[in-house]
Amino acid sequence: MARTLIAELSSDGTGLGQPGPDDDLHVDLSLLEFVDVAGIRRIVKVADSAPEARRLVLHGLPPTIRRVMSIVGWADHPKLVIDEASP
């Protein structure tokens, strides 16, 4: 999955879908029930790969995962946005 997201972030919008009006890649994680630290690190790696004008925006990130990302400082990544309106 990480490779697909990295490819989409690097694309011109003709791959899996058109970029949003802000050119960020929006991902809905509201059905995610579990992810270990290695999985969270992969999400951060995807954000690391974003070109200068794009970011990875996470929607529906479960509170426990959001908390882990905040504790280790990954929530402050400049290319990663956690939609706080998510539950």
Q: Domains for the chain: give ranges and CATH numbers.
A: 2-12+22-82 (3.30.750.24)
Q: Which pTM does this prediction carry? A: 0.80
- pLDDT-wise least confident of 41-45, 55-59, 82-86: 82-86
14 band by pLDDT with thresholds 50, 70 and 90? very low
85 band by pLDDT with thresholds 50, 70 and 90? confident
Torsion over CA: 8, 30, 58, 26 (sign):
positive
Q: Which residues pair with 27 in a beta bridge?
A: 58
What pLDDT score does 20 carry?
Answer: 47
The Cα–Cα gap between 25 and 31 comes to 18
Query: Residue 59, SS3?
Result: strand
Of all residues in the chain, what percent carry a pLDDT higher than 70? 85
